[in-house]
């Protein structure tokens, strides 16, 4: 190893330690992350098949979850595939993602990993075999007491809200309530109870990689009071030091919760 490599490693280690100290005291309970920039990273890295970026990015996920666990995060929501991706991306890219994502989820569900998986999204948009694999993988983690990991596949924020309202209306209809009675009781809390993330804390921090500064429909309802952190790093190049910077920035923000 060259002297330059040794010095770089020492500097990185010291800087990471410093960031940990600065982030100490207040950590997010729930982190949502938009794993963006896989294809752009692949192009810049010289891949002839940009789907290779998705594969490299997939290998980063377990590392990220380990960092979250070390930071005592309780819930992580990973956005792997949106409803817009399913509708608007090329058939080739969607097919590649639908090969990669079940492998990722199977790996996350393997024995020895402490987290508990929950698949969130419109699984009816996915091929039956893919939906079945995702569901089976999550079921294998039932009973684990570790960090909850929501895997958002076929997910869209508007669709989730519409799903929650439909579910609420059907529940009240089954109880024999009239439309007027339903309207009288319909409120924010009732809708929240029927979201995919029901029973979980709303995200305190949402991270998006790749330099894009928009939510694109991610956790629209739940992110009303979230803090946002955007980084230029593409997801495959996202490092622990980037994660620690996000925690540091979160720790020093004065959260007003809409006040």
Nearest to 119, CA basis, from 130, 135, 99: 135
49, part of any domain: yes
CATH number at residue 98: 3.40.1180.10
pLDDT of residue 11: 56
| Residues with catalytic roles | 36, 85
Q: Provide the CA 155 distance to its chain's centre, in angstroms.
A: 10
CA distance 115 to 65: 9
- pTM equals 0.90
195, part of any domain: no
Domain membership of residue 208 as a residue range: 26-156+203-250
pLDDT of residue 152: 98
Where are any strands of DSSP class E within the chain? 30-34, 75-82, 116-120, 148-155, 205-208, 227-230
Please state the domain count of the chain. 1
CA distance 44 to 229: 23
61, part of any domain: yes
pLDDT of residue 23: 64
pLDDT of residue 183: 87
194, part of any domain: no
Angle at 111 between CA 110 and CA 113, to 5 degrees: 80
Which residue ranges in the chain fall short of pLDDT 70? Answer: 1-25, 257-259
pLDDT of residue 1: 60
Q: Provide the CA 192 distance to its chain's centre, in angstroms.
A: 18
151, part of any domain: yes
42, part of any domain: yes
CA atoms within 13 A on the CB side of 194: 19
Q: What sign has the CA pseudo-torsion 238, 61, 162, 87?
A: positive
pLDDT of residue 184: 86
227, part of any domain: yes
173, part of any domain: no
Contact 146, 114 (CB under 8 A): yes
**Residues 57-84: pLDDT tens digits?**
999 999 999 999 999 999 999 999 999 9
CA distance 171 to 41: 45
Contact 239, 15 (CB under 8 A): no
């Amino acid at each position: 190893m060259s002297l330059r490599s040794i010095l770089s490693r020492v500097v990185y280690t010291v800087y990471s330690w410093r960031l940990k100290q600065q982030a100490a005291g207040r950590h997010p309970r729930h982190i949502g992350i938009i794993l963006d920039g896989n294809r752009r990273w692949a192009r810049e890295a010289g891949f002839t098949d940009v789907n290779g970026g998705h594969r490299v990015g997939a290998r980063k996920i377990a590392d990220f979850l380990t960092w979250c666990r070390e930071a005592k995060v309780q819930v992580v929501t990973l956005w792997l595939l949106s409803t817009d991706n399913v509708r608007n991306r090329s058939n080739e890219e969607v097919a590649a993602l639908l090969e990669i994502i079940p492998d990722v989820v199977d790996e996350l569900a393997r024995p020895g990993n402490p987290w508990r998986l929950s698949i969130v999204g419109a699984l009816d948009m996915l091929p039956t075999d893919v939906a079945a694999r995702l569901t089976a993988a999550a079921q294998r983690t039932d009973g684990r007491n570790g960090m909850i990991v929501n895997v958002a596949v076929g997910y869209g924020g508007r669709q989730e809200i519409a799903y929650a309202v439909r579910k609420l209306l059907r529940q009240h209809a089954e109880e024999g309530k009239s439309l007027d009675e339903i309207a009288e009781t319909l409120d924010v809390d009732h809708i929240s109870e029927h979201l995919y993330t029901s029973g979980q804390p709303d995200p305190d921090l949402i991270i998006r990689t790749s330099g894009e500064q928009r939510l694109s429909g991610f956790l629209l309802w739940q992110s009303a009071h979230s803090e946002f952190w955007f980084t230029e790093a593409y997801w495959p190049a996202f490092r622990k030091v980037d994660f620690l910077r996000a925690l540091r920035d979160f720790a020093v923000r004065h959260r007003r919760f809409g006040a």
